[in-house]
Homo-oligomer: A and B are copies of this chain.
Amino acid sequence: MQPDLSCFFHPESIAIIGVSRNSSKAGYGILKNVLWTFSRTEKIFPINPKVKEILGLKVYHSLKEVPGNIDLVICFVAPRSIPSLLKECHQKGVKGIIIESAGFAEAGKEGKAIQEEIGQLGKQFNIRIWGGNCMGTVTDELITTFEPITADMRRKGVVSIVGQSGYFSGAVILQLFTERYTGIRKAASIGNRIDIDECDLLQDFLKDEETEVAAFYLEGLKRPRKFLKLAKEFTQSKPLICLLGGQSEVGRLATLSHTSSTAHGSPQLLSDLLKQSKIIQATEFGDFFNILEAFAKLPLPNGNRLAIVTITGAGGVIGADIAAKYNIKIPEFSESTTRKLQKLFPEWMPPKNPVDSWPAFEIHGLDEALRQIIPILCESNEIDMILLMIAAMQVAITFDPTVLQDMQKYRKPIITYIVGDNSIKYLWTSQIRSNGGVVHDDINTAVKILDLMASHSLTRET
């Protein structure tokens, strides 16, 4: 039986239980996001026994007053009121319910009992349950979180991301949108996983052609065998990134009061299993962003041969040192490539890899030097990927980030490293990122990401 999540991602009608007129309350935020994103406005039904109208919509006193069937219910109400709500849902033919309120198993004994009751009722009534203690969904056609997401942040993308923490549909997605300019295909905060879990989502992504990269933050796998099997299938053609929280003893205890997850078992065993399914593991949020952003934006390299193009000798030395720790080669250039590059360099400076391009840049200007050096490297079959290192200075260097945009046609991944004056660095970083590029301010991360991309590319072929 294929799980069908279409009631969550493509519902026909939506009821929101516990709406509020107070704009700082979740019940207001959810309604506002749904109203803004769901195309069938006439099929949005806010419910609150004490209110008549919100945001221009008629408010119903209860679910049963709503005319016709309802596909999806979203609720932010006290846990103890949910069992009776489920009975009403059953009568209205509801297919799925998103429970965003907290206070379930993560909050103690009483919450745990209610959580179990809700799970059983869901099965009994054949209603899929999403959450609780979660922040819902973000897609191009429907946002059900309470955290406001504004129009200028929204960007259609290829990454589908699942987080067990509500945090993931809030801060993390904001960071992806506003800092990395990485659009979202589907974002799903699944919280305590009363019913819907990561396997349901991964199965959904497997069928979804528009999902090109999948990323999961999980505090324990609910059905490890199933997940690894699905992952193996997914990673045959697409990258899958996992960040697993709660692998240490203290971390595991913290998950209990967070999403009430069970432990992963031995971290080493788990890590080996993930590796077998070709899952790319992240160590923390920063790492998680870095990896999924790169896979979402950059073409895959054909191999692991790196050229470092730098305007600082020290950067080239450090970059080469770091590459040596990974499965990355920094090949010497062939005679033909050296000859092509030499035309840009003074005679006393034969270009080598790492390419210290300061002398070329002094002759031609940085933009023009890069406009010539990068295509020579991209067009050669000696190099699979490029690490470009530049320095942000007020006077000595002028650099136009659109130079890099022009290089996208060569279909080789380029990661930029910038050091220097903060305001210039911030500007260039935003410009590069918003135009589909990847930039980091530490060399280790840049090299590590290139290594992950090369490894993914190389293992896919075997």
**Residues of A near any B CB (own CB < 8 A):** 24, 29, 103, 106-108, 147-148, 150, 153, 163-168, 170-172, 174-175, 178-179, 217, 219, 243, 245-251, 253-255, 257-259, 283-287, 312-318, 320-325, 330, 348-349, 352, 354, 356, 391-396, 419-423, 425-426, 430, 441-445
Contacts and interface: CB of A to CB of B under 8 A. Distances in A.
A48 to B, nearest CB: 21
Given A247-B324, A254-B352, A258-B317, 5 more contacts: A168-B314, A251-B321, A254-B316, A257-B313, A285-B443
Contacts of A217: 314
A364 to B, nearest CB: 15
Nearest to A173: B420
Nearest to A261: B317
A321 B444 contact: no
B284 A324 contact: no
Given A147-B396, A314-B217, A348-B108, A283 B444 contact: yes
A307 B105 CA distance: 25
A354 B252 CA distance: 11
A349 to B, nearest CB: 7
- Name, among A153, A246, A250, A423, the residue most crowded by chain B CB atoms within 10 Å (CB to CB): A250
Contacts of A324: 247-251
Contacts of A445: 286
Given A314-B245, A320-B251, A348-B107, A422 B178 contact: yes
Contact of A167 (B24, B312, B421): B312
Contact of A317 (B245, B325, B425, B430): B245
A272 B422 CA distance: 35
Nearest to A354: B254
Contacts of A441: 286
Nearest to A181: B422
A193 to B, nearest CB: 14
Contacts of A106: 313
Number of copies: 2
A254 to B, nearest CB: 5
B246 A321 contact: yes
B314 A103 contact: no
Contacts of A286: 441-445
B421 A174 contact: yes
Nearest to A359: B102
Given A171-B393, A250-B324, A255 B317 contact: yes
- Name, among A175, A246, A314, A420, the residue most crowded by chain B CB atoms within 10 Å (CB to CB): A314
A165 B319 CA distance: 14
A178 B254 CA distance: 37
Contact of A285 (B170, B175, B254, B442): B442
15 contacts: A107-B348, A108-B348, A148-B394, A167-B313, A171-B392, A171-B419, A174-B391, A174-B393, A179-B425, A245-B314, A247-B321, A248-B325, A251-B321, A283-B322, A285-B419
A163 B422 contact: no
A421 B249 CA distance: 31
A102 to B, nearest CB: 9
Contact of A312 (B103, B165, B318): B165
A217 B106 CA distance: 49
A220 B192 CA distance: 54
Given A219-B317, A317-B258, A444 B248 contact: no
A377 B24 CA distance: 30
Contacts of A419: 171-172, 175, 285
A420 B171 CA distance: 4
A396 B33 CA distance: 14
A393 B318 contact: no
Contacts of A313: 106, 165, 167, 254-255, 257-259
Nearest to A111: B348
Contacts of A248: 320-321, 323-325
A287 B254 CA distance: 29
Given A248-B324, A396-B147, A420-B171, A352 B257 contact: yes
Nearest to A331: B250
A324 B254 CA distance: 13
A330 B252 CA distance: 13
B175 A258 contact: no
Contact of A250 (B108, B255, B312, B320): B320
